A = this chain, B = another copy of it.
C-alpha cells in the first residue's frame, strides 16, 4: 500500500488548506514530539489535557479565549467537535429552560459539520434564505424573521442561532454583528462558526455579541489536524464545560475532572502541540489581513480577464476563499478526453494542487499567504489552460 505525498513541492491552492499550513520552524520543532502518541500527557496531573501546565495547555487555552474576546476555551477534535459541544449544550439547555425549544436557526451556507452536529444532538434546524445568484448574501432581518417564526409556531424561542462567519461555498463574510444584536435583543444564544476566519483576521466575540465561537486550528491556525477550539463567555462556560456526573453504582467511581461535551478529555497530542507552537505566528498574521485581501482582490480582477470567468459572492471580496464561475473551462472539458478532470490535472502538471478533481464549471480555491511570484504562477497557469 503506497502512502506517499506526491504534492510536497506543489503550490497549494486548496482553500481548506491555505490557512492551516504550518510554518517551517514549527514543522522542525514538531520532530521532537512526533514519536509518542500521548505526547501531551507526560506531566498530566489531573487527567485532563486542558488542565496541564507542562506543556502549558491551560495557559494556552486562556490565551486562545482572550485572543478571541472570550472568557474560557477548550480544545476539541476539530471545529466539528467544537460545534457538537455547543449543540449538546443547547440540547440540554432547552430541556431545562421552558422559554426555549430544540429548534435552531442555521444560516443556509453553513458548513456541513454544523448541520451534522445538530443532527447528532437531535436539534431541529431551520434556515433563513440567502440572496441567491450571484452574491448569496444574508440579510440580518431574515434571521429576525426566523426567530419570530419559531416563537409564533412553537410558543418558545429557538435554542440557538448559528452563523458561519465566512461560509465554505462563496467565502462571504456574514453580517455577524447585526445578527448578534438581534439575538441579544431576543436573548437567543448565538454561535459563530469561525472555522474559516479565526486565525486569519481579527475576531472579537464580545463585539459580535455572541456566546459561542468555534474554530478550526488545522483550517485557519497553522496546525496539524484534527484540532479545534470552542470559546465561550462566563455565562455559558458552566454548562458547556460541565464535568461528568456519571457514577457507576457498583464501583462508585467518579470522573469529576472530565467534560462530557469534549469526550472527557480531548487528548491534544501533536495537533495541540503544533497549535501552541504556531500561535504567536497566528497572532502576528491577523494584523496583515487587509494586505492579504488587497492582494487577493487584485488576483480576482486578473483572473476575471479570462473570458466569462466571474467571482461569485461578495465584491470586493472580504475572504480568501474564492468561488469562480468558469464557463470557459467547462467548454474545454466538453471536448477534452479527461472531461472535467482536465482542469485539476493541468494545474497539477504545472505544479499547482488543490482544485477539486472533476470540477470545471465552477472552481473554488485560495491564494492566501502565497508570495507574489506564486500568485503570478497560479494566474499564468489559469491563463494558459484557458487557451487549450
A36 at the interface (CB under 8 A from B): yes
B129 touches A226 (CB 8 A): no
A260 and B120 contacting across the interface, CB-CB below 8 Å: yes
CA of A236 to CA of B177 in the docked complex: distance in angstroms?
Answer: 45
Query: Cβ of A35 < 8 Å from any Cβ of B?
Result: yes
Residue A366 interfacial (CB < 8 Å): no
Among B4, B250, B253, contact of A128 (Cβ-Cβ < 8 Å): B250
Q: Are A32 and B14 in contact (CB under 8 A)?
A: no
Do B112 and A37 touch (CB < 8 A)? no
Q: Are B118 and A246 in contact (CB under 8 A)?
A: yes
Contact B80 A78 (CB under 8 A): no
- Bound Cα distance A22, B60 (Å): 26
**Which of A40-48, A303-311, A380-388 is near enough to bind chain B?**
A40-48
Tell me whether chain A's interface is mostly helix, strand or loop, or mixed.
Answer: loop
Complex interface: chain B residues within 8 A of A223 (CB): 37
Is A273 interfacial (CB-CB < 8 Å)?
yes
Q: Which of A198-228 contact B (CB under 8 A)?
A: 217-219, 222-226
A298 at the interface (CB under 8 A from B): no
Give me 22 A-to-B residue pairs in the complex whose CB atoms sit less than 8 angstroms apart, sorted by A's number: A2-B56, A4-B55, A7-B42, A14-B38, A20-B36, A22-B34, A22-B37, A27-B35, A37-B225, A80-B264, A88-B120, A115-B244, A116-B255, A116-B264, A118-B246, A119-B244, A125-B246, A125-B248, A127-B248, A127-B249, A129-B250, A218-B269
